[in-house]
A and B are shown apart, each in its own frame.
Chain A
Amino acid sequence: MSRKILGPFNRVEGDLAVNLTLDGERVSSAQVTSPMYRGFERALVGRPLADALVVVPRICGICSVSQSVAAVRLIQALTGVSPAANGERVMNIVHACENLADHLTHFYLFFAPDLAHADYAGQPWHADWAARLGSGGPAARQWLAARATLLRMVGLLAGRWPHTLALQPGGVTRTVDAVERLRLLGWLAEVRQFVETVLLGVPIEQMLALQQPDDLDALRAGAGDAGRWLRAADALDFARLGRAGDRFLAFAAYHNQGNAPWPAGLWADGRAQPLDLSLLSEDVSHSWYEAAPPRHPAAGDTLPNPHKHGAYSWNKAPRLAGLPAETGALARQLLAGQPCLTALVRQHGGSVLTRLLARQIEAAWLVQAIQCWLAALELSEPFIQPPTHTPLTDGMAAGLTEAARGALGHWASVEGGRISRYQIIAPTSWNFSPRDAHGQPGPLEIALEGVANQDVRIQHVVRSFDPCMVCTVH
């Protein structure tokens, strides 16, 4: 037995260290450490509820809109305000632009550069990647331009990114006119061109029609980075790398007049099941917080204790019915019944392959969805409901949504108009959770068990979850 620490991890959002116990050539167990604490949940206590809209986006500079959406949904639930239909559509567009930008950032900035690593020099697929993604390669400027275009769309609709105040209970602060919609559609056409010709190498419709694993051959043969990536994934056996517990969790997202195209649910034992939110809890037994029994986030607390014996992370351990769960694009796709991914997961479980592929399918879906929401805007109708003058009622509410990396939830109590409790469970809180009181490891900790002791291979597994550590520790 020997030990090794990977970290500070580069090319992730925020701070991360992974402590590995090695048994010969393989990882026998892993401890995932979030080495930073910022106290957002405590800083919100005592503030007026409206302050949450300023404070919570600043939890995270990569998915700040997702944090805003969670807070807006929480305030709407607490106040009974229902958003204008156009407001919901614009909120969905802004949210989808951020999530698509995140998928591009994950693939091109965080994940793919490892495939250009010198460790792989000589492999038949490597030269191609190194030429695309190595220093001075064309990929960086191509994806940066596409990402900037997406965030230009967010700029028009929401003023700026990150940390907008345009998303409000009741809708959005910006009314869109016909000429602005044309401009947005034009920018989206540029993004679509990037997604189809550079990222996927196939039309969006073909990506969305993937039915079974054999259908991926067309993608493999294509000229896009998806094909280039799949050829490397085959060679590196990503289909069997990085399996966690195969228990997947998603909250509903992109609400539109009472419906949500992505359903909430738990995918376990090979099938979709209803999600019982009352069974959520956060365990702090291995976290740097004062000892306490596992609590539902509606009753949770955040009492830091950096000297606690046996603790190794600032992340708490979220559990559903006492068990860990994985969240992210793959969870969303499984719960929405995507047949190709369902077949792949039934074959080998969740893996580096299926996590990455799920994001690329979702990238295609997001482009199409943004186009639909833009087309559906009723330009002569309001974008925000007029304010109601009913006083804020005390109470407790939840605001749930999906960030690019998975299920995001905010839970708050309000007394006398002021926040008396605010608890957040971010996607990476689930995926990078430490052990709980029963010693159960979190999804990444499970996924690393048995992986060959090779830094770049371990990095593939870590990055396949697209960690967002600043969200995690908040």
Chain B
Amino acid sequence: MKTLVWLGAGGCGGCSMSLLTAESPDCLTALAQAGIELVWHPSLSALSGTELLATLDAMEAGRQPLDILCIEGALLTAFAGQCQTLGGGEPLVARVARLARVAQCVVAVGGCAAFGGVGAADDAGIGGRGLQFDGDQPGGVLGAGFIARGGLPVVNIAGCPTHPGWVLDTLALLAAHALPASGLDSLQRPRFYADRLVHHGCPRNEFYEFKATAHALGQQGCLIEHLGCRGTQAHADCNIRPWHGGSSCLKGGFSCIDCTAPDFAAPHRQPLTTPKLAGLPTILPSDMPKAWFVALSALSKSATPARLRHNAQSDRLDIAPTPPTGKRR
């Protein structure tokens, strides 16, 4: 069995609560299947606070093994760490730094622990930092050069919140020594989900193909042109591996805000608003020449079926595709 300790830093607990929505299997079954023993989790453990502190002390002293250390929430560093203390006034961030040195693997669960998250905004005044990144810059409280005993840097399961599958799959791979350094992208996110784009498998793809655009929330069309959808840039597999069995933000009728990116909640990232330059959205696919995009868009717009043009600005699919006629068959 691999031992796992999960500590809540300056976050909202949403990644833990999201983890508990896992189905088929549920998270308890998945952890058991992966051979992981949950030594402590703030919501799931019966151990009291004093027993927890004694366990953490034993791990730091090498008397008890710590295989996987999960941190959820930003590390709060303002006021010399007094924004968040753990047991007797010691800053939580100091405890996390000591545990990271003895753990075989260190995992940042969620965008806050990975990059600082919502709490990294300067105006919050809490000095929110990631474990190994400050925003998109390497560093964080452990330093850019940090490598855990098992040989990996901090594994950043970015997302706000994290999909339960991202967390459970990452933990199972780590427990099985099956996540090599090459399995992480440049922001140290597991590539098994971060090499996909939210755009992949988007249920609105037919509207995207023909540039049939929604002008207001609630409409069925593509959300890139007017409603700020960042699905063509967002690294995640939300529309391939849906949420809660079948959902995603796009299926819920609103735009992807790219919550696996370091700065997704920054003030300049106005949600549901498309940033434009010379009338053109600046959130187009990043690896496609813009001129080609414009040319192809013009071409596909001129070929948009009336059905899509209508449905794109309706709150339901009014016009069905026409069945092929006998003659054409």
Contacts and interface: CB of A to CB of B under 8 A. Distances in A.
Contacts of B246: 152, 155-156
Contacts of A35: 84-86
A163 interface: yes
Contacts of A164: 249, 252, 254
A268 interface: no
Contact of B247 (A9, A42, A155): A155
B76 interface: yes
A40 B118 CA distance: 9
A162 B17 contact: yes
A54 interface: yes
Interface in B239-257: 243-255, 257
A54 B13 contact: no
B253 A172 contact: yes
A80 interface: no
Interface stretch (B96-104, B132-140, B265-273, B280-288): B265-273
Contact of B13 (A117, A384, A470): A470
A159 B48 CA distance: 36
Contacts of A168: 217, 254
B8 interface: yes
Interface string B76-115: 1001001111111000000000000000000000000000
A160 interface: yes
B110 to A, nearest CB: 9
A238 interface: no
Given A13-B43, A61-B15, A159-B247, A46 B253 contact: no
B254 A165 contact: yes
Contacts of A171: 218
B106 to A, nearest CB: 20
A91 interface: no
A11 B43 contact: yes
A50 B52 CA distance: 41
A110 B119 CA distance: 27
B130 interface: no
Contact of A43 (B17, B42, B124, B218): B124
Nearest to A61: B14
B124 A38 contact: yes
Nearest to A50: B271
B12 A173 contact: no
B179 interface: no
Given A45-B123, A53-B271, A166 B14 contact: no
B21 to A, nearest CB: 5
Given A37-B84, A306-B82, A165 B265 contact: no
A140 B315 CA distance: 40
A7 B87 contact: yes
Interface stretch (B22-30, B148-156, B184-192, B295-303): B22-30
> How many interface residues does chain A have, given as a range?
35 or more
A8 B119 contact: no
Nearest to A5: B88
A7 B161 contact: no
Nearest to B159: A163
Nearest to B15: A61
A403 interface: no
Interface string B46-66: 111100110000000000000
B173 interface: no
A48 interface: yes
A402 interface: no
Contacts of A160: 238, 243-244, 247-249, 252
A386 interface: yes
Contacts of A141: 26, 28-29
A15 B43 contact: no
A64 interface: yes
B49 to A, nearest CB: 4
Contact of B87 (A8, A48, A50): A8
Interface residues of B, number: 76
A88 B209 CA distance: 33
B245 A144 contact: no
A174 B218 CA distance: 6
B315 A175 contact: yes
B20 A39 contact: no
Given A55-B265, A159-B249, A40 B244 contact: no
Nearest to B215: A387
B202 interface: no
A171 B253 CA distance: 12
Contacts of B26: 141, 144-145, 148
Contact of B8 (A14, A60, A175, A177): A14
A12 to B, nearest CB: 8
Contact of B254 (A14, A173, A307): A173
A61 B161 contact: yes
A241 to B, nearest CB: 20
Contact of B83 (A11, A36, A42): A36
A69 to B, nearest CB: 16
A165 B250 CA distance: 10
B16 interface: yes
A165 B218 contact: no
B244 A39 contact: no
A36 B15 contact: no
B147 interface: no
A11 B248 contact: no
Contacts of B79: 304, 306-307
A172 B253 CA distance: 8
A211 B243 CA distance: 41
A75 interface: no
A219 interface: no
A54 B254 contact: no
Nearest to B247: A155
Contacts of B17: 61-62, 105, 162
B7 to A, nearest CB: 9
A455 interface: yes
B125 A165 contact: no
Q: Which of A42, A173, A307 has the most chain B CB atoms inside 10 A of its CB?
A: A173
20 contacts: A9-B49, A11-B42, A37-B84, A43-B119, A46-B123, A54-B271, A60-B12, A61-B15, A62-B17, A109-B43, A144-B20, A147-B21, A152-B23, A152-B247, A160-B248, A162-B14, A165-B254, A165-B255, A166-B253, A383-B218
Q: A-B pairs with the 6 shortest C-beta distances?
A: A159-B252, A61-B14, A155-B244, A173-B253, A155-B247, A39-B124
Interface of B: 8, 10-18, 20-23, 26-29, 40, 42-49, 52-53, 76, 79, 82-88, 117-119, 121, 123-126, 128, 160-161, 216-218, 238, 243-255, 257, 259, 265, 267, 270-273, 315-316
Interface of A: 5-15, 17, 35-40, 42-43, 45-48, 50-51, 53-55, 58-62, 64, 105, 109-110, 113, 117, 140-141, 144-145, 147-148, 151-152, 154-166, 168, 171-175, 177, 304, 306-307, 382-384, 386-387, 455, 470
